[in-house]
Structure 1
Amino acid sequence: MIEFVRGYIDYVCPEYIVMEVNGVGYQIFVPNPFSFRPSRDTIMTVYTYHYVREDVIALYGFRTREERTLFAKLLQVSGIGPKGGLAILATGDVRRLVQAIEEENEAFLCKFPGVGKKTARQMILDLKGKLQHVMPDAMPNLFAEWEHIDRSTALDEAIEALKALGYAEREIRKITPILKQETLSTDQYIKRALQLLLK
């Protein structure tokens, strides 16, 4: 098990980041890649989940151990794979997610890509009462905000990231006019889009 990776952020794209550690680049899939900024000036620590299946070996990364624990618990739910787990965590609003599970709010859970009524019910059955230790009180907001000079580029990157998370183009098209009214960084566009998608 790889507990964490500590190094420089070398590359960011809609699906993953690349961290350089002693000359080796690690491809790490994260909930919101654009919350990271490529930099040779800052050493970062990303807590990892080493996912191994017959046809897949991948690293998934998180800002905190608590967030990684929640991801691992989501993977234990029938019907949720790594991509679905990342999409659920991409909002950064863990308190709302835990609240929905505790209150058995299936309608809210079904708004995540790939989550239908059956999977939402399974999430509630498997996780209700078991997530107190991953509440956001133990998860400080560590996202580093950074500005893109080109608003259109930032919005385009955000749209690609939403697609990578599994949101359909028709869902994205509905909220794009709203996003175009704002000037935000890529990370901020993604967070704003997720807020709109989960309303």
Structure 2
Amino acid sequence: MIEFIKGYINYINPEYIVVENNGIGYQVFAPNPFAFNKSDDQLITIYTYHYVREDTLALYGFQTREERALFVKLLNVSGIGPKGGLAILASGQPGQVVRAIEHEDEKFLVKFPGVGKKTARQMILDLKGKLHDLVPNIQHDLFNPNDNTLADPSSSVALDEAIEALKVLGYAEREIKKIIPELLQETMTTDQYIKKALQKLLK
């Protein structure tokens, strides 16, 4: 088990980041890769989960141990795989997920891609009462409100990247198209676009 990787973010795309450590680049799938900043001089720690199956070998990475713990618990629910677990955590507000499970809020849970009524009920059945230890330390919003970095107003690259990331998470194109007009009203970073979009999609 690889507990964490400490290194530099070498590459970011809608599915994963590449973390460079001692000349080796580790491909790490993350809930929202754009929550990380590419940097050659900022050393960061990624808490990882090594996923091993007969036909799959992959690393999944998170900003906190609590996020990773929730991801692992979600994988134990029948009907939820790694992609589904990442989509649920992508909003950066795992506390909302915990509360929905504790309050048996199926309507909220089925808004995540790939989660139907049967899976939502299974999440509640399997996890209710088992997540209290995660809530106190979990980061309800990984966005730093003091970060005023904005995307280039003359470019739609950040929004395009956000849309691709939403597709990777499993959201249908028709769902994404409904919220694009609202996203176009603001100029933001890719990470901020993704979080804004997820807030709209989960309402």
- Which bin holds the TM-score, normalised by the shorter protein? over 0.9
Contact between 2:95 and 2:138, CA under 8 Å: does it hold in 1? no
2:27 corresponds in structure 1 to 27
**1:57–1:158 Cα change, 3 Å:** same
Contact between 1:113 and 1:167, CA under 8 Å: does it hold in 2? yes
1:139 corresponds in structure 2 to 138
Unmatched tracts of structure 1, length 5 or more: none
Verify: 1:155 aligned to 2:159, yes or no.
yes
CA distance in 1, matches of 2:45, 2:143: 13
1:38 partner SS:
coil
Verify: 1:75 aligned to 2:75, yes or no.
yes
CA RMSD in angstroms, aligned pairs only: 1.2
Contact between 1:36 and 1:143, CA under 8 Å: does it hold in 2? no
Shift in Å at residue 110 of structure 1?
0.2
2:173 corresponds in structure 1 to 169
2:42 partner SS:
strand
1:26 partner SS:
strand
2:119 corresponds in structure 1 to 119
Shift in Å at residue 139 of structure 1?
2.6
Contact between 2:48 and 2:61, CA under 8 Å: does it hold in 1? yes
Contact between 2:93 and 2:142, CA under 8 Å: does it hold in 1? no
2:21 partner amino acid = V
Verify: 1:183 aligned to 2:169, yes or no.
no
Q: Between the two proteins, what is the percent identity of the paired residues? A: 69
2:98 corresponds in structure 1 to 98
Shift in Å at residue 158 of structure 1?
0.3
TM-score, structure 1 normalization: 0.96
2:130 corresponds in structure 1 to 130
CA distance in 1, matches of 2:143, 2:62: 11
Unmatched tracts of structure 2, length 5 or more: none
Shift in Å at residue 148 of structure 1?
2.3
More deviation in 140-149 or 32-41?
Answer: 140-149
TM-score, structure 2 normalization: 0.94
1:133 partner SS:
coil
CA distance in 2, matches of 1:190, 1:143: 11
1:170 partner amino acid = R
Instruction: Give per-residue Cα distances to partners, 1:119-178, cap 9 Å, x unaligned.
Output: 00000000000101111x313455465432254111000000000111010100011111
- List structure 1 segments (4+ residues) > 2 angstroms apart after TM superposition: 139-148
